[in-house]
Chains A and B, each alone.
Chain A
Amino acid sequence: MAQLTLLQAINQALKEEMRRDNKVIILGEDVGLNGGVFRATEGLFQEFGEERVIDTPLAESGIIGMAIGMAMYGLRPIPEIQFMDFIYPAFEQIVNEMAKMRYRSGGQYNVPLVLRTPYGGGIRGGHYHSQSSEAYFTHTPGLKVVVPSNPYDAKGLLISSIRDNDPVLFLEPKKLYRTIKGEVPENEYIIPLGKASIPLQGDDVTVIAYGAMIPICISAAKKANEEGISTEVIDLRTLIPLDKETILNSVKKTGKVVIVYEAPKTGGFGSELSAIIAEEAIEYLEAPILRIAGLDTPYPYTLEHIYSPDPRRVYEAIKKVYNF
């Protein structure tokens, strides 16, 4: 089986889906001849032509607005926003149009599109190439929000997202684009949306995370395991719809929870996870739920390695809840 980077897995999923269905169309800034600034769409322009791999003018609201119209008419557009930090000009189109079209039209129109965008820090991108703003979108009924953490999941989740009849926000952890490789089957396969995975099983502490935080959590959990703290890591893979069952089953087993996300702590998606656990499993808890998250500040430049959760910080939190 081929060892691919996360970026190559995404590229392969896009290519296969475009070969399978000529309704699948890509549009965005620099996605054509240049293959995208991260090369996620490398080679697609050459294979499928400029009608299907569309270089757009530099206007995010236009990219998303146009993709919505295409999707309503029956195409399967995959718009790319170059960095998640640049998504805000399209915020209205995403929140008021894409997300609400099915509901407000009584199911007459749907918007089957996948909005791909790289998110997260760790690449010295400063305020505007590092943000992890998934909580704005998980707070919006009508959207599905998917965050892969490895090449295998990236391909299977992206194919599922493309075939889904609802709009999907597909957040790609850009720090992991080329830093991890994994086995990716060349044939098509899907990973259903709304199913978490458990990359590491354990009985003492549950660590819940997604996307770029997964390798960090696994590293911290392995260290904890060496110290005799049996730690389970849950990779959510999909934030909306959320696999509550996997979370609650694990919490009921361990009674101790650490939630890790790189977005600002207050109002982050991890806060929602914490609330769900408190609401539905408080009688199983043996320690306070800890959130290890980004600071409630804009994302910094020089000191980003201090800002972002790292394995040491997660490990300390695991120890803290274990020893509570």
Chain B
Amino acid sequence: MSTELIKYLDEEGNLINNYKPSLDEKKLRYLYDLMILTREFDDRGLKLQRQGRIGFYIGCKGQEASHIASAFALNDDDWIFPSYREPGILIMRKVPLYKLFCQMIGNEGDPCHGRQMPCHYSHREVNFVSISSPLATQIPHAVGASYAMKYNKEKKVAVTYFGDGSTSEGDFHVALNFAGVYKTPTIFICENNQWAISVPITKQTASESIAIKGLAYGIESFKVDGNDVFAVYEVTKKAIEKARDGGGPTLIENYTYRLGSHSSSDDATRYRSNQEYELWLKKDPIIRFEKYLLSEGIINKDYIDSQKKFAEEEINNAIKQAEKLKNPSLETLFTDVYEDIPSNLKEQMKNLIDEQKRLGESEDNSLAFPL
């Protein structure tokens, strides 16, 4: 077992370490298209917040290869236990874009009825489990679900995504420990973007890597250049195949970088040097992949322009469609707490509906999140 950095594509778009892509040109173009669309989605999400059209946004800029190329190695019936920086997986799994904007707005089109802050998606139809704000809580869930897959004798896997900050939480360690003991088909993907809001990875852990932590739990672990589409895809694919064959869990550290601030509420210039940011801007996973595709003649300038234009139009239409919808109904405050609405909630629902009729709708005097 080794935790040396695995890398197949350098910053100039050259293949290194004798790597030959296993994906055909069509699939490579598809991956590129997804990354372009996700980048545009992410840019617009943040802009919507800046324009006051949504209350909050939390982005994935710079982490497109890390989550898209890894999820691309999965089958559609494999389950994802996500963090909040993997919207590209939903786009890949063909959730209509406007649904994602409905979630951000929190309107009646949101499958979760506006109950959570923006970017906390849940889409069971594509096996993308509900997102929590507290960190690392989803990691043991992935172990439990994959235990169930193994128990049912299904050849499926559960993949869970989390950041470097999450690896300091107890749930990370507990989950790895349980997965190691039961040899569950779980893939743990740490997107090490090196910053947990303002705290750098050097203050998060004294370990030389995140990957090395997996070894202590008896779990095969790898550290991968998370901005390298090829390395991410190949290592994840290998881990998935191993898990399907009963070989147990794998921890993969995708070494990447958060190009944006933590969220729309954060300003990374307060704690991060511009020099560091500029350095990582040059390592942008999309630019690197684009250089490779151009040099191989798999895409050309016109293709790039048309893809970007297509992404812009798709996003525009999706936002337009989402913004037409109204707030969720009052009843949605009370449904889904339990399978059936219990009598105390029925009573509260009736009282609330009567009150809102009697007094008119309560004034919305919420402040902007968080400061």
Q: Do A and B bind each other?
A: yes
Q: A residues bordering B, Cβ < 8 Å? A: 25, 51, 54, 56-57, 59, 61-62, 64-75, 77, 89, 92-93, 96-97, 101-110, 141-142, 144, 164-166, 194, 241-242, 244
CA distance A102 to B170 in the complex (A): 24
Nearest-Cβ distance from residue A22 to partner chain B, whole angstroms: 9
CB pair B171 A109 closer than 8 Å: no
Q: Please tell me which one of the listed residues A77, A96, A110, A194 contacts residue B339 in the complex, with CB atoms under 8 A apart.
A: A110
- Per the bound structure, the CA–CA distance linking A95 and B130 in Å amounts to 15
Complex contact A68–B151 (CB within 8 A): no
Known: A65-B175, A105-B124. A89 touches B342 (CB 8 A): no
Contact between B137 and A109, CB atoms less than 8 A apart: no
Given contacts A72-B141, A96-B137, contact A57 B113 (CB under 8 A): no
* Contact of A75 with B177 in the complex, beta carbons under 8 Å: no
Which B-chain residue is minimally distant from A65 (CB atoms)? Answer: B140
In the bound complex, how far is the Cα of B158 from the Cα of A67, in angstroms? 15
- Give bound CA distance, A108 to B178, whole Å: 26
Bound together, the chains give a CA A141 to CA B336 distance in angstroms of 10
Smallest CB gap from A102: residue in B: B336
A72: chain B residues at CB < 8 Å are 129, 141, 144-145
Instruction: Closest B residue to A108 by CB, please name it.
Output: B124
Docked-complex contact A62 and B174, CB < 8 angstroms:
yes
User: Is A241 touching B344 in the complex (CB atoms < 8 A)?
Assistant: yes
19 contacts between A and B (CB under 8 A): A59-B177, A59-B178, A65-B137, A65-B140, A65-B144, A66-B143, A66-B144, A68-B140, A68-B141, A69-B142, A69-B145, A72-B141, A72-B145, A93-B140, A96-B137, A97-B132, A109-B124, A144-B338, A241-B338
Give A68 to B145 CA distance when docked, in angstroms.
8
Q: Is the CB of A142 within 8 A of B132?
A: no
Q: Is the CB of B339 within 8 A of A109?
A: no
| Bound CA–CA A220/B61 (angstroms) | 68
Q: Are B140 and A241 in contact (CB under 8 A)?
A: no
A57 to B110, CA, bound (A): 39
7 extra interface residue pairs, beta carbon distance < 8 Å, beyond A59-B178, A69-B147: A72-B144, A102-B336, A107-B336, A108-B112, A108-B124, A165-B339, A194-B342
Query: A62-B174, A194-B342 are known contacts. Are A105 and B122 too (CB-CB below 8 A)?
Result: yes
Interfacial chain A residues near B141, Cβ < 8 Å: 65-66, 68-69, 72, 97
Is B279's CB within 8 Å of the partner chain A?
no
Whether the pair B338, A142 counts as a contact (CB closer than 8 A) is yes
Task: Please tell me if the beta carbons of A59 and B174 are within 8 angstroms of each other in the complex.
Answer: yes
Rounded to whole angstroms, the CA-CA distance of A144 and B137 in the bound complex is 21
- The smallest C-beta distance from A140 to any residue of chain B, in angstroms, reads 10
* Chain A residue contacts of B315, Cβ below 8 A: none
What chain B residues lie within 8 Å of A61 (beta carbons)?
140, 170-171, 174
In residues 134-176 of chain B, which contact A (Cβ within 8 Å)?
A: 134, 137, 139-149, 151, 158, 170-171, 174-175
B116 at the interface (CB under 8 A from A): yes
Give CA–CA (A178, B110) in the complex, Å.
51
| Complex CA–CA separation, A75 to B150 (angstroms) | 12
Q: Is A57 a contact partner of B336 (Cβ separation < 8 A)?
A: no
Report yes or no: B174 in contact with A70, Cβ–Cβ below 8 A.
Answer: no
In the complex the two chains form, is A57's CB within 8 Å of B177's CB?
A: yes
Known: A62-B174, A141-B337. A69 touches B140 (CB 8 A): yes
One of B137, B336, B344 near A97 (C-beta < 8 A) = B137
- A102 and B174 contacting across the interface, CB-CB below 8 Å: no
Q: Let me know if B148 and A70 touch, CB within 8 A.
A: yes
Q: Which of A66, A74, A102, A106 contacts B140 (CB 8 A)?
A: A66
Closest CB in chain B relative to A273 CB, distance in Å: 13
Give the CA-CA distance A101 to B342 in the complex, in Å: 17
Whether the Cβ atoms of A68 and B335 lie closer than 8 Å is no
Q: Choose from B110, B130, B149 the contact partner of A73 (Cβ within 8 Å).
A: B149
State in angstroms the CA–CA spacing of A54 and B181 once bound together.
11
Contacts of B123 in A (CB 8 A): 108
Residues from 173 to 193 in B contacting A, C-beta threshold 8 Å: 174-175, 177-178, 181-182
In the bound assembly, the distance between CA atoms of A180 and B8 in angstroms comes to: 69
Tell whether, in the assembled complex, residue A68 and residue B144 are in contact, meaning their CB atoms are under 8 Å apart: yes
Q: Provide the bound-state CA to CA distance between A103 and B120, in Å.
A: 13
Residue B275 CB within 8 A of the other chain:
no
Interface: B51 (CB within 8 A): no
Query: What residue of chain A has the Cβ atom nearest to residue B176's Cβ?
Result: A62
Closest to B116 in A: A104
> Which residue of chain A lies nearest to B115 when distances are taken between CB atoms in the complex?
A104
Q: Identify the closest chain B residue to A164 (Cβ).
A: B339
Within 8 A of A (CB), among B101-124: 110-113, 115-116, 120, 122-124
Given contacts A102-B339, A104-B130, contact A73 B79 (CB under 8 A): yes
Do A109 and B129 touch (CB < 8 A)? yes
Residue-wise interface mask of B (329-352) relative to A, using a CB-CB cutoff of 8 A (1 in contact, 0 not): 000000111110011100000000
Alpha-carbon distance A142/B174, docked complex (angstroms): 25
CB distance from A166 to the nearest CB of B (A): 5
- Least CB distance from B141 to A in Å reads 4
CB distance B337 to A66 under 8 Å? no
B122 and A104 contact, CB distance less than 8 A = yes
Known: A66-B143, A101-B130, A166-B339. A74 touches B137 (CB 8 A): no
Chain B residues in 8 Å Cβ range of A67: 144
* Interface residue ranges of B219-271 to A (CB < 8 Å): none
B residues within 8 A CB of A71?
144
Flag if B116 contacts A75 (CB, 8 Å).
Answer: no
Q: Is the CB of B174 within 8 A of A65?
A: yes
Q: In the complex, which residues of chain A have a beta carbon less than 8 angstroms from the beta carbon of B170?
A: 59, 61, 89
